[in-house]
Amino acid sequence: MTANSNITPNDLDAERPVTYGTEAFLSADYAKAEKELLWPRVWQMAGREEDIPNVGDYFTYDICDDSIIIVRTAADKIKAFYNVCAHRGRQLIDVPADQNGVRGNTRNFICGFHGWTYDIDGRNSYILDEDDWHGALNTECTSLTPLRVDTWGGFIYIDQREEEAETLAEYLGDAGRILSHFEFEKMRYKWRQYCVYPANWKTAIEAFMEPYHTTATHHQLTAFAEFYAYSKQYGLHSVSGFDQRKSAEATSQGGSVSRAGKGADPRISTYELAYENYTTINYSASTDTLIAAAARLKDELPEGSSIADVMSHWMTSAKADDAARGVIWPDIPAEVMAEAGLAWTLFPNQNILQGVTFALCYRSRPHPTDVDQCIFEAYALERYPEGEEPDTEWVLAAPTEEKWGKVLAQDFANMKWVHKGMKSRGFKGALPNPHQEQKIINAHRNLAEFMGRGAPTLLR
């Protein structure tokens, strides 16, 4: 199969059923090809600006066989270099295997092997016995190798392409335009955890790309809401949101995580759904302010209040509570909120479930040598009053309920069995839901464009 036979965005918009095989998840050859055809040809989210607030602050980002140094070289300037010494190729900064990158502050990067030294702009500033080369060394061959870097929403992206490729803004396209309203750059990490998980990186990230699994996997949540969802391609990227099976089903008010829930009294169901989500998704996908305001709905609103009144009162009072402590909500037009839905996947591996003052995010990366493993990360962002941002680091956490909360543990409990199940001789290829799992179909459509193989085909 070649990319020529790929399905089109029109096929997705028409919600035409498709299937695709398992090679992208299981083949070591495919994983090796990704190192050439996928990762070096996309903008990759490497980290957050908040990790390097001061000049000389740096962190490392590893992808496949590359390690990359991202360093702040001026108040308004960030640079990225391959983490490798120009002399004989020692990795410049050691990144211990049990650490999700290293952070530090420095004026120089000094190679541990023979002491060649680089300033934070990547220029070589010291070579032991340089005269031995009889003047043959120049700035170009002795400097660190730079790569493109840009920022959006407080995220730092790198691009390994050597030729002039599209800008980050062009790459993000409509997804960037819509999500910019949420001002992620004003949010900070609330918590961040990672693990090395026994499934391919795509199996892992796809477990967080559709709410279709919620009813069966997170069955306890169905007491509080319906989880019927739509999903929609936006070129490289995709969105999903809550939907209604039929117009008579009036409980799913809105496509985002802040909604009324199910029950006779929306003053109570709104709170119960928000509280259940918040406490079982490891205190993410909402905020203390929103939960406290939801808890007061039954006291502040009369019996018989409509869902629309409850939602509007909830948002107005939470917004006022936040303003009183110095957290000013962005003004997001209603049509942008509607288009933004619940959650986005930015190709290839960045998931964002967004709210006005929070975001729950996921990223997965391939294990450098094992197609059956990945580095999986989840983190919560939130807007804080200035000076009250928590100080966080990446925490290596076993994929258990104790470390990640009930809901993520339920997701972890599927992912490795999906990966194992796809190896079965009895598995005939995926049958993704064209309406609810379109994000996943779109991911495979886009993957096939980069990889030249594995394109989804129409089911007849």
Which positions lie near Fe ion, rule CB under 5 A?
A: 411
Can residue 116 be called a binding residue for ligand FES (CB under 6 A)? yes
Q: Minimum distance between the CB of residue 127 and ligand FES, rounded to whole angstroms?
A: 8
Looking at the Cβ atoms of 65 and 129, the one nearer to ligand FES is 129
Q: Which is nearer to Fe ion, 159 or 411 (CB)?
A: 411
CA distance 149 to 167: 10
Residues 213-272 that bind ligand FES (CB under 6 A): none
Number of chain positions touching ligand FES (CB under 6 A): 9
Provide DSSP, 206-261. Answer: HTTS-GGGHHHHTGGGGGT----EEEEEETTEEEEEE--SSTT--S--SSSSS---
Give alpha helix (H) positions in 341-455: 401-404, 406-421, 438-451
Residue 411 contact partner, candidates Fe ion, ligand FES, none, CB within 5 to 8 A by sort of partner: Fe ion
Out of 8, 113, 320, 396, name the contact with ligand FES by CB under 6 A.
Answer: 113
- The binder of 113, among ligand FES, Fe ion, none, by C-beta within 5 to 8 A per type, is ligand FES
Region 86-105 residues binding ligand FES, contact defined as CB under 6 A:
87-88, 90
User: Cα separation of 32 and 306, whole Å?
Assistant: 55
In terms of C-beta distances under 8 Å and separation of at least 24 residues, what long-range contacts does 120-128 make, across chains too? Answer: 120/55, 120/56, 120/58, 120/71, 120/72, 120/73, 120/79, 121/73, 121/79, 122/79, 122/81, 122/146, 124/86, 127/87
Per DSSP, 118 falls in state E
Question: Nearest to Fe ion by Cβ — which residue?
Answer: 411
116's contact among Fe ion, ligand FES, none, with CB below 5 to 8 A by partner kind, is: ligand FES
Closer to ligand FES by Cβ: residue 87 or 435: 87
Measured from the CB atom, is 128 or 431 closer to ligand FES? 128
Shortest Å distance, C-beta 90 to ligand FES = 4
Q: Could you tell me the smallest distance in angstroms from the CB atom of residue 182 to Fe ion?
A: 21
Contact 154, 174 (CB under 8 A): no
Q: How far is the CB of 45 from ligand FES (least distance, A)?
A: 29
Residue 87 partner contact from ligand FES, Fe ion, none using kind-dependent CB cut-offs of 5 to 8 Å: ligand FES
Residue 350, C-beta contacts closer than 8 angstroms, at least 6 positions apart: 45, 155, 361, 362, 363
Q: What is the DSSP letter of 330?
A: P
Return the SS3 of 304: coil
Please say which residue, 85 or 179, places its beta carbon nearer to ligand FES: 85
Q: Which of 66/411 has CB closer to Fe ion? A: 411
Q: How far is the CB of 204 from Fe ion (least distance, A)?
A: 12
Least separation in angstroms between residue 46's CB and ligand FES is 23
Choose one: 107-115, 164-172, 252-260, 418-426; the region binding ligand FES (CB under 6 A): 107-115
Q: Which does 296 bind (CB under 5 to 8 A by kind): Fe ion, ligand FES, none?
A: none
Contacting ligand FES within 67-86 (CB under 6 A): 85
Torsional class of 276: left (φ above 0), alpha (ψ -120 to 50), beta (otherwise): alpha
SS3 assignment, position 11: helix
Query: Which one-letter amino acid corresponds to residue 414?
Result: N
Residue 424 Cβ vs Fe ion, minimum distance, rounded to whole Å: 23
Comparing CB distances to Fe ion, the nearer of 44 and 252 is 252
CB of 114 to ligand FES, least distance (A): 3
Binds 41: which of ligand FES, Fe ion, none (CB < 5-8 Å by kind) = none
CB closer to ligand FES, 112 vs 421: 112
* Cα–Cα distance for residue pair 262/297, rounded to 1 Å: 15
Output the smallest distance, CB 399 to Fe ion, in A. 13
Nearer to ligand FES, 113 or 133 (CB): 113
Cβ of 166: how many Cβ atoms within 10 Å?
12
Nearer to ligand FES, 1 or 127 (CB): 127
DSSP structural state of residue 279: H
The number of residues making up the chain comes to: 460
Coil, helix or strand at residue 414:
helix
Residue-wise over 215-243: b if at least 16 C-beta within 10 A, else e?
A: eebbeebeebbbbbbbbbbbebbbbbbbb
Smaller CB separation from ligand FES, 144 or 342: 144
d(CA 34, CA 366): 9
For residue 83, the minimal CB distance to ligand FES (Å) is 12
DSSP state of 54: S
Q: Closest distance between ligand FES and the C-beta of residue 140, in Å?
A: 17
Question: Dmax of the chain from CA atoms?
Answer: 88
Distance (Å, rounded) from C-alpha 357 to C-alpha 327? 8
**What, of ligand FES, Fe ion, none, does residue 111 touch, CB below 5 to 8 Å by kind?**
ligand FES
By CB under 6 A, name the binding residues for ligand FES: 85, 87-88, 90, 111, 113-116
